[in-house]
Structure 1
Amino acid sequence: MTRKKQIILPIVILLVGAVIFFALSSMKKPPEEKPKVDNTPIVAVEEISVAPLTLTVESYGVVTPKYEIELVAQVSGQIVELSEKFVRGGFVTKGQILARIDPSDYQAALIDAQATLASATASLQEEVARGKVAEEEWKRIQNASPTALSLRKPQLAQEKARVKAAKASVLRAERNLERTYLKAPFDAMIESRHIGLGAFVATGSNIGKMLGTETAEIRLPVADNQLQFLVNQGEAATVNLEGDFSGQKQVWQANIARSEGVIDDTSRMSYLVAEVVDPYGLKTTSDVIPLRFGSYVNAKVLGKELAMATSVPRHLVNKDRVALLNKDSTLKFVDIEIVSQDGANVIVANGLKTGDRMIISALDYPIDGMKLSLAGEDVDLPEADVNEDAQIASVKD
């Protein structure tokens, strides 16, 4: 009996262990399968559009009048009249009377000069008559030839000189009388006035300062290597000026009038001078935004025309190459010809065509021919096991 127990007990224990093992095995869950992922870099692209393009050269400057003068008194006297427009900021037209100096003394001087002229003219006529009498008397004398003095020619010349001097005095008196009127020499805006009604001014006294409103000028500094992008070094080129007026951005059009022809010693820049006709719009009936003197403006000088070109962000260019996405979703580097730089972009003339997809994402290790995925497209996951972490390129905002 004891021997049977010794044989049966181990068998029972083995059976119970087997039952427990199978029970536990049936309770164990199978391992979860990891989702299959794709480690192909995802990129964003921008479609290239190639079209005719006008090169521009950027510059800046301050608007100044082409003509500005200090108005001075040419005669002395008391100010007896002032125009209402002869004030700071007033607009005046050519020939308009701004002020008048007391003309009394100059009117008297003119009368005196006219009287002197009349006296000299009478003396001349009298001397002419005397000369004729002397000539008639010498005709009756046959044995001698008359001299210039006997014919009173020196006296006649002296009287003629007196008449010329008297005429000059009249002209001088008339001019001084005319100068009692202080007139605007051209269409202008008054920048300052230094006299008042009743003030006494001496010859040469500063009356005020005037800024011509017919034409405004802007000196535009241009780097010497930028002149190659302009036709005829910018001569007669069109310029778009951008500035502020009443807190809003405005654009005015100007034209290059001339080049100063030298390189500035300090800035090492060449200067082009742009002109704007009637900057305050005084000669037009339509509403024109005035381009005020002293305004700071940014300028774009229009240059050469390119038959086919496009603009590319400068940071996407590496060693004159850009990355494109082929139709088979592979990366391809293409060589480009950069013509000029336009701010944060570069102008490309050759190497790209309309429809090319330029990669604008940042790739850690771009390789020509590498497989890429386009952002927003469904990707077929590979059947083979792949790494759990997918490489995703950062997309430019």
Structure 2
Amino acid sequence: MRFLRQSVMGLFLAAMTLGLLGYAANMVRGAVLARMASEDRAPAQRERVFAVAVQTAVPGRETPVLEAFGEVRAKRTLELRAAASGRIVEMSDSFAEGGVVSEGEVLLRLDPSDAESARDAVAADLSDAEAEVRDAEAALLLAKDELAAALEQAELRTRALQRQQDLAARGVGTAAAVETAELADSAARQMVLASRQAVTQSQARIAQSATRLKRSQLILQDAERRVVDTIVTAPFAGSLSGVSLTLGRLVSDNEQLATLIDPAALEVSFRLSTAQYVRLLDDDGRLPNLPIKARLDVAGVDLVATGRVLRDSAAVGEAESGRLVFAALDGARGFKPGDFVTVSVEEPPIDRVVRLPASAFDGSGTVLAVNDDNRLEALDAQLVRRQGNDVLLRGPELAGRRIVTTRTPLLGPGIAVRPLEGEAQTPDAPDMVELTEERRAKLVAFVEANQRMPDDVKARVLLRLSEPQVPAQMIERLESRMGS
């Protein structure tokens, strides 16, 4: 019985399995036939709309700013050189590297013994020359007196001769007396000639003594100048550079002692390309006195000085290009000669241009504008200037149009868009940051250990770091120099 019951159960299960397999095969066959019998229908597709940031193009007057890199130079410098040789016997406390001196301050003295001895010897020669002049003048007076007496004596002898001649004509006088009177008159005239010669010699002596006196005076002035040359003074107020002297050192004639720099008279030299230089010229082809700004990045704090363009180089140097331009700086506090600065020059204003982000302009010279149907179309635009992340464009169809500020490869003419006018695509970074105590301490330690930062700038930076919130730009610059 058990065998019969198990056999019946097995047959039942086998029949059920075959039935289920047949039902499944029928369902699969029906599905395949239904799929094969259905018609091919394409799914409905929707047009993709892109969100774009736009800006309305408003033509107007723009003042382009040209940026270049330049070097701060001292407009007024002087090489202090020794006008005489000798040993240094006195030095000012300010005569050191970086020393600040005032106008007329005595910087150092050389041993004046030799120069003073030479001056005293020349002064003695001058006294002799003055005495010689006095003697020559007295001799001239005596010679003139002798000439007057000789002229008087000659006149008397002439009258005596005339009397003897009158007496001889009347037969009263003798021939011997006339002859004696003639000899006496001749001797008197000879005495006059000798006296005149003496006067002439006295006058020549006076001229010679005057020349000797003048020569002695010139030699004395030269000797006194040599004494003065032993003293080195500052011709103007400034700072000293290149000082390497010590007390007691021997210096030679014309040896360079130091360089005096006027920190209040600074200028900046920067090189422009020829195209940039031409843009700055006026209608007469001259370089106008355009305003400039010089900016020096000092550990998160920008030192800024204003000025005006002065001149440009007369010629292009060998193996150089472009034009070298010089500008005077006004109130360049904290700047030093040799600083590498960024120079911004305001170009002449340009009319009828549109300022747009540089990402709105492509290399083919077109921009994308949104029309009334919110579709894009390409407009031709002429690039006038590049200004950092912006461009100045000019085009006949730009005025009043909504221009796409950021172009992507997905955008092109005919694309449907959703304009986002006035919305920023990227959030701005926070201007002020609140520091942790550890981060603040690291920044303060770095600033205090920085020897290249001027004291006034260091004080301003430390004051800002002590505040609860610190500018993010300052923190970024400081940490970039720390290597963090």
TM-score, scaled to structure 2: 0.63
The structure 2 residue matched to 1:113, chosen from 84, 102, 122, is 122
Per-residue deviation, 1:91:
1.6
Equivalent residue for 2:339?
A: 295
Supply the distance in 2 between the matched residues of 1:331 and 1:396 (Cα, whole angstroms): 22
SS of the residue aligned with 2:97? coil
1:132-143 equivalences in 2 (<5 Å): 132-139=141-148, 140-141=150-151, 143=189
Asked if 2 retains the 8 angstrom alpha-carbon contact of 1:309 and 1:348, the reply is: yes
Equivalent residue for 2:406?
A: 360
Asked if 2 retains the 8 angstrom alpha-carbon contact of 1:325 and 1:332, the reply is: yes
CA distance 1:374–1:129, shift in 2 (3 Å): same
Supply the distance in 2 between the matched residues of 1:237 and 1:90 (Cα, whole angstroms): 35
SS of the residue aligned with 1:152? helix
Per-residue deviation, 1:124:
0.6
The structure 2 residue matched to 1:335, chosen from 380, 384, 388, is 380
Instruction: Give yes or no for the alignment of 1:103 onto 2:129.
Output: no
Instruction: Give yes or no for the alignment of 1:198 onto 2:242.
Output: no
Asked if 2 retains the 8 angstrom alpha-carbon contact of 1:219 and 1:271, the reply is: yes
The structure 2 residue matched to 1:239, chosen from 265, 278, 292, is 292
Asked if 2 retains the 8 angstrom alpha-carbon contact of 1:314 and 1:346, the reply is: yes
Instruction: Give yes or no for the alignment of 1:59 onto 2:68.
Output: yes
The structure 1 residue matched to 2:279, chosen from 219, 229, 241, is 229
Asked if 1 retains the 8 angstrom alpha-carbon contact of 2:295 and 2:343, the reply is: yes
Supply the distance in 2 between the matched residues of 1:271 and 1:156 (Cα, whole angstroms): 63
Letter in 2 for 1:111: D
Supply the distance in 2 between the matched residues of 1:98 and 1:226 (Cα, whole angstroms): 46
Equivalent residue for 1:5?
A: none
Residues 291-300 or 303-312, more deviating: 303-312
CA distance 1:119–1:354, shift in 2 (3 Å): farther
Asked if 1 retains the 8 angstrom alpha-carbon contact of 2:78 and 2:261, the reply is: yes
Equivalent residue for 1:372?
A: 416
1:32-47 equivalences in 2 (<5 Å): 37-47=46-56
Q: Which has the higher strand share?
A: 1
Supply the distance in 1 between the matched residues of 2:376 and 2:94 (Cα, whole angstroms): 71
Asked if 1 retains the 8 angstrom alpha-carbon contact of 2:104 and 2:233, the reply is: yes
SS of the residue aligned with 1:159? helix
CA distance 1:42–1:358, shift in 2 (3 Å): closer
Uncovered stretches (5+) of structure 1, i.e. residues with no partner: 1-16, 26-32, 280-288, 378-394
Root-mean-square deviation (CA, aligned residues, Å) is: 3.2
The Cα offsets for residues 188-233 of structure 1, whole Å up to 9 and x where unpaired, read as 2111212111222222223222223232222211111112321435
1:279-318 equivalences in 2 (<5 Å): 279=332, 289-315=333-359, 316-318=361-363
CA distance 1:108–1:253, shift in 2 (3 Å): same
Runs of 4+ in structure 1 over 6 Å off: 33-36
Equivalent residue for 1:165?
A: 215
The Cα offsets for residues 223-263 of structure 1, whole Å up to 9 and x where unpaired, read as 11112321435331111111123542222112211111222
Uncovered stretches (5+) of structure 2, i.e. residues with no partner: 1-22, 32-41, 155-188, 428-484
CA distance 1:359–1:103, shift in 2 (3 Å): closer
CA distance 1:214–1:361, shift in 2 (3 Å): closer
TM-score, scaled to structure 1: 0.76
CA distance 1:246–1:159, shift in 2 (3 Å): farther
Instruction: Give yes or no for the alignment of 1:188 onto 2:197.
Output: no
Equivalent residue for 2:179?
A: none
The Cα offsets for residues 271-301 of structure 1, whole Å up to 9 and x where unpaired, read as 111122454xxxxxxxxx4111211011111
Asked if 1 retains the 8 angstrom alpha-carbon contact of 2:49 and 2:418, the reply is: no
Asked if 1 retains the 8 angstrom alpha-carbon contact of 2:69 and 2:342, the reply is: yes
Supply the distance in 2 between the matched residues of 1:231 and 1:162 (Cα, whole angstroms): 63
CA distance 1:336–1:36, shift in 2 (3 Å): closer
Supply the distance in 2 between the matched residues of 1:181 and 1:112 (Cα, whole angstroms): 21
SS of the residue aligned with 1:131? helix
CA distance 1:124–1:163, shift in 2 (3 Å): same
Instruction: Give yes or no for the alignment of 1:324 onto 2:369.
Output: yes
Equivalent residue for 2:132?
A: 123
Supply the distance in 2 between the matched residues of 1:166 and 1:346 (Cα, whole angstroms): 77
SS of the residue aligned with 2:242? strand
Instruction: Give yes or no for the alignment of 1:260 onto 2:313.
Output: yes
Give the number of aligned pairs: 343
The Cα offsets for residues 1-22 of structure 1, whole Å up to 9 and x where unpaired, read as xxxxxxxxxxxxxxxx9xx99x
Residues 130-139 or 80-89, more deviating: 130-139
Equivalent residue for 2:89?
A: 80
Supply the distance in 2 between the matched residues of 1:335 and 1:149 (Cα, whole angstroms): 105
Asked if 2 retains the 8 angstrom alpha-carbon contact of 1:120 and 1:163, the reply is: yes
Supply the distance in 1 between the matched residues of 2:411 and 2:403 (Cα, whole angstroms): 19
The Cα offsets for residues 287-334 of structure 1, whole Å up to 9 and x where unpaired, read as xx4111211011111111123433334452343321111233122332
Asked if 2 retains the 8 angstrom alpha-carbon contact of 1:194 and 1:206, the reply is: no
1:371-390 equivalences in 2 (<5 Å): 371-374=415-418
CA distance 1:123–1:275, shift in 2 (3 Å): same
Supply the distance in 2 between the matched residues of 1:303 and 1:210 (Cα, whole angstroms): 35
Q: Which has the higher helix share?
A: 2
Instruction: Give yes or no for the alignment of 1:210 onto 2:260.
Output: yes
Residues 311-320 or 204-213, more deviating: 311-320
Equivalent residue for 1:270?
A: 323
Supply the distance in 2 between the matched residues of 1:317 and 1:218 (Cα, whole angstroms): 36
Per-residue deviation, 1:133:
1.9
Supply the distance in 1 between the matched residues of 2:420 and 2:212 (Cα, whole angstroms): 104
Letter in 1 for 2:129: A
Letter in 2 for 1:166: S
Q: Percent identity?
A: 21
Which protein shows a greater Rg?
A: 2
